[in-house]
Amino acid sequence: MEGALAERVGAEPFHRVTPLLESWALSQVAGMPVFLKYENVQIAGSFKIRGIGHFCQQMAKRGCRHLVCSSGGNAGIAAAYSARKLGIPVTIVLPEGTSVQVVRRLEGEGAEVQLTGKVW
């Protein structure tokens, strides 16, 4: 594995450790303590970066040099973010009817977006 890629792959996980805080209001309604995990503060925007980031790092360790994903949602964003952090290309395949906003968000992470087909 090339030196720079090896450093990025062996680096820390791509997700943040986020707080787990008790919600007083929800605890009152439920009659028991209710805790909320604040995954909305992840850099990629959701909890998906935890698993997908790890998966992408593992695939890069095994020699993967191009990632492909078929989600324009949080999973696609996590894949695009991970690929950018790893410095490897990623292609996100989505249906033709995908909104321009989704395409722009993914391209903003450096992904190549291919729109093909009518449905998933």
Report the share of the chain in percent with pLDDT over 70.
92
The answer to whether 44 touches 74, Cβ cutoff 8 Å, is yes
Tell me what percent of the chain is helix, strand and coil, each rounded to the nearest 5: 45, 15, 40
pTM of the model: 0.82
pLDDT band for position 3 (50/70/90)? low
pLDDT in tens, 31-88: 999 999 999 899 888 999 999 999 999 999 999 999 999 988 899 999 999 999 999 9
Domains of the chain, CATH where assigned:
2-115 (3.40.50.1100)
Q: How far apart are CA 116 and CA 91, in angstroms?
A: 12
Which residues have a Cβ under 8 Å from the Cβ of 69 and sit 6 or more positions away?
Answer: 75, 76, 79, 80, 90, 91, 92, 93
pLDDT at 69: 93
